[in-house]
């Protein structure tokens, strides 16, 4: 005797109950895995803030060094020889000076900068090789231009 094919009642005809994990659980696990991977990757790539002494003691390790431009020393930028090299001297917040080789063209208004943040590493010769630089320029909203309201 053969049994007819079973057809579920209408409200349950399109319902599928998977065995094991639900699709939403799998998606949640994938999202958590990607988030952990991004966190580990950002921690690995991040560098720390340091003064020149610490950066020079650990050549090859990347640091952010905060300081000011030493205006008494020469700024060398010769685009005809190397358009991606600017050499200058920086003084960190402790007063130590160091020759810096910035692997970029000389920024506009470089001489007017109030503060520099160099991102790079020290070399074996005791110089800092910066791959990037952030500048804080003087504010146009200083006491002379103050608007009284």
Per-residue pLDDT reduced to its tens digit, 29-52: 999 999 888 888 776 656 688 889
What DSSP character marks residue 7? Answer: -
Residues 38 and 86: beta-carbon distance below 8 Å: no
Residue 112's domain comprises 48-136
Domain count, the chain: 1
User: Is 144 inside any structural domain?
Assistant: no
Q: Is 52 helix (H, G, I), strand (E, B) or coil?
A: helix
H helical segments located in the chain: 23-45, 52-57
User: Is 18 inside any structural domain?
Assistant: no
User: Is 108 inside any structural domain?
Assistant: yes
User: Is 80 inside any structural domain?
Assistant: yes
Nearest Cα to Cα of residue 127 among 48, 79, 46, 73: 73
- The answer to whether the predicted template modeling score (pTM) of the entire model surpasses 0.95 is no
User: Is 94 inside any structural domain?
Assistant: yes
Percent of the chain with pLDDT over 90: 45
**Radius of gyration, CA atoms only, the chain:** 30
**pLDDT at res. 25:** 83
User: Is 92 inside any structural domain?
Assistant: yes
Q: For the domain that residue 77 is a member of, what is the CATH number?
A: 2.40.50.140
Per-residue pLDDT reduced to its tens digit, 68-91: 999 999 999 999 999 899 999 999
Beta strands 63-69; 86-92: pairing state:
antiparallel
User: Is 125 inside any structural domain?
Assistant: yes
């Amino acid at each position: 005797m053969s049994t007819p094919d079973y057809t579920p009642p209408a409200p349950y005809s399109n319902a599928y109950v998977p065995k094991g994990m639900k699709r939403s659980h799998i998606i949640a696990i994938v999202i958590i895995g990607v988030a952990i991977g991004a966190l580990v990757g950002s921690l690995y790539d991040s560098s720390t803030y340091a003064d020149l002494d610490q950066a020079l003691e650990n050549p090859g390790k990347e640091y952010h060094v905060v300081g000011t431009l030493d205006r008494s020393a020469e700024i060398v930028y010769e685009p005809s020889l190397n358009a991606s090299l600017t050499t200058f001297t920086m003084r960190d917040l402790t007063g130590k000076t160091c020759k810096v080789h910035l692997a970029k063209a000389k920024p506009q208004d470089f001489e007017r900068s109030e503060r520099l943040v160099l991102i790079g590493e020290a070399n074996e010769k005791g110089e800092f090789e910066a791959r990037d630089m952030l500048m804080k320029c003087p504010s146009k909203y200083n006491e002379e231009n103050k608007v009284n309201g």
